[in-house]
Structure 1
């Protein structure tokens, strides 16, 4: 389940008003309008009459250049240009460098209930800092069922059918010194084109459900060293019934990728049956992934070595 992210101007002011030195001048009635994209726009071309690509769901930033250009036009041209921009019912407009907006902009903001904000920062500083904040806040989010663990420093998602034993394996891994991030429901967000970060929803944080025992608070049971809040996702381990895995895959393994938020993540399937130490197998799979990240692939090395022996005539196989 992927969720679209957005933030209202009211929430933005509450979160970043002090840091970005912002104060509201007009348009209080429009504070619940929202932004759904981290990139901002400067309405330079819009003041020249081209408003086709001006987005009402992005923050608009007016700096010295825009105000100076607007002042070069006649009063009628200014009125027409400003009205065309504000009639879009923009999410919010920020004027930088603590500049006093001309009455024509102030009146348009009041008329259309558009939040008009002034920041002390110059445009470049304001836009850089605000984009960093919005990129984090508006990052795409998806929720996945599973147990998310920090194992040897890697974020490992353990998945599988309901009742297959994911939480029990997670609990054993915790007892072996690894750290819980989330149980049952994991919130993943894409921080950049190649990075997925996972955490627990607030209501479930630090808790695990173990059938027959109930809800456990891992922080209370094992201490703060047994939990962590977030981690980059590096590996997905899928637990599958033994009879659903082909014989050759049980021997050579089944490496593949799975896609989360359009990012490919290494995936390995581990067949389960009574008597296998699954926590140890998950540890080994994680160690093997660490080796692969360093350019060492044991399976590929074995296959190449075997093929070399075959090519030499099969001696000493």
Structure 2
């Protein structure tokens, strides 16, 4: 079943659970946004999204305190019976026993936080957007090279893990080998991580499984990394034209996001680690406004223009 269990939200946000008898593991949050049910407390339920986490802030709390007991029970009976995943009270405000009784009746966890409403909303939304982001798993290796997330792809046995190991020895950090779990956390950002079972391990054919964290230390690994560029390794084909200047960027698409992509042909004598490292540095330079290929092109054009002017004279 998709979604995030309410128990994970309780643990991550350090919330007080006022209804522990309700099994929060079985209730799942499937929407990353939240709602402050101010209008719902007044009885307006048009366009109400009951799949969202509901938060009672200072304004809602002040309004509730002005209601009579009968109005309060009637108001929360309608809200809690609408199958919301949970109801969170900010600023350490605590609901009365009538509300807790209704929550137990309808199986809705009542949670409490000492954070301000704005801070609590921002933290929950940020966390849920990551947890509920569209996710795919692909075959590849993800490495942090000079702060750039480099996803190395290619056919099985082409040398992805060996390239990653050499990069680690050169001071870079491994995120995952073999399987990369990719989350689309925004329209601009893809974040890669490793499955729990294979985290920090690399498979080397002829050697076996090695534990990178144990062999090279904690500074050689990283749990998550934004994916900035893709390097595709492929067997050298003498009949294929490879990009030798890099004036125009090539892209690949992952979860609808366009990522800069380089196809690297493999042949004996090529040091993959240095090539990947250089590609990462070159990409970093481009982000900072310097393009070596464009600089060379401009120099050639200037030189041609100079010679044509000399010939005319």
CA spacing shift, 1:14–1:230, aligned 2, 3 Å: closer
CA spacing shift, 1:198–1:5, aligned 2, 3 Å: farther
Q: Does 1:194 align with 2:191?
A: no
CA spacing shift, 1:25–1:147, aligned 2, 3 Å: closer
Choose which of 30, 33, 47 in structure 2 pairs with 1:36.
30
CA spacing shift, 1:221–1:96, aligned 2, 3 Å: closer
Q: Secondary structure of 1:251's partner?
A: coil
Q: Does 1:10 align with 2:7?
A: yes
**1:27, 1:109 within 8 Å by CA — same for their partners in 2?**
no
Per the TM alignment, residue 184 of structure 1 is displaced from its structure 2 partner at its CA by: 0.5
Post-superposition Cα deviations, 1:149-204, rounded to whole Å, max 9, x if no partner, equal: 22233221111122222112222333334332211112233445433332322211
CA spacing shift, 1:314–1:203, aligned 2, 3 Å: farther
Per the TM alignment, residue 29 of structure 1 is displaced from its structure 2 partner at its CA by: 4.4
What residue in structure 2 maps to residue 93 of structure 1?
87
What residue in structure 2 maps to residue 150 of structure 1?
144
Q: In structure 2, list runs of 5 or more residues that go unmatched.
A: none
CA spacing shift, 1:120–1:178, aligned 2, 3 Å: closer
CA spacing shift, 1:282–1:103, aligned 2, 3 Å: closer
Choose which of 167, 172, 176 in structure 2 pairs with 1:173.
167
Q: Secondary structure of 2:178's partner?
A: strand
**2:141, 2:180 within 8 Å by CA — same for their partners in 1?**
yes
**2:173, 2:220 within 8 Å by CA — same for their partners in 1?**
yes
Per the TM alignment, residue 28 of structure 1 is displaced from its structure 2 partner at its CA by: 0.9
The CA distance in 1 between the partners of 2:162 and 2:25, in whole Å, is 47
The CA distance in 2 between the partners of 1:62 and 1:132, in whole Å, is 18
Count the aligned residue pairs. 309
Choose which of 178, 196, 204 in structure 1 pairs with 2:198.
204
The CA distance in 2 between the partners of 1:176 and 1:100, in whole Å, is 54
The CA distance in 1 between the partners of 2:42 and 2:33, in whole Å, is 21
Per the TM alignment, residue 77 of structure 1 is displaced from its structure 2 partner at its CA by: 5.8
**2:230, 2:260 within 8 Å by CA — same for their partners in 1?**
yes
Q: Does 1:299 align with 2:293?
A: yes
Judging by fraction of residues, say which structure has more strand: 1
Choose which of 255, 259, 262 in structure 1 pairs with 2:253.
259
Q: Secondary structure of 1:56's partner?
A: coil
CA spacing shift, 1:225–1:103, aligned 2, 3 Å: closer
The CA distance in 2 between the partners of 1:245 and 1:73, in whole Å, is 80
The CA distance in 2 between the partners of 1:99 and 1:199, in whole Å, is 37
The CA distance in 2 between the partners of 1:125 and 1:217, in whole Å, is 39
**2:17, 2:109 within 8 Å by CA — same for their partners in 1?**
no
Q: In structure 1, list runs of 5 or more residues that go unmatched.
A: none
**TM-score calculated relative to the size of structure 2:** 0.83
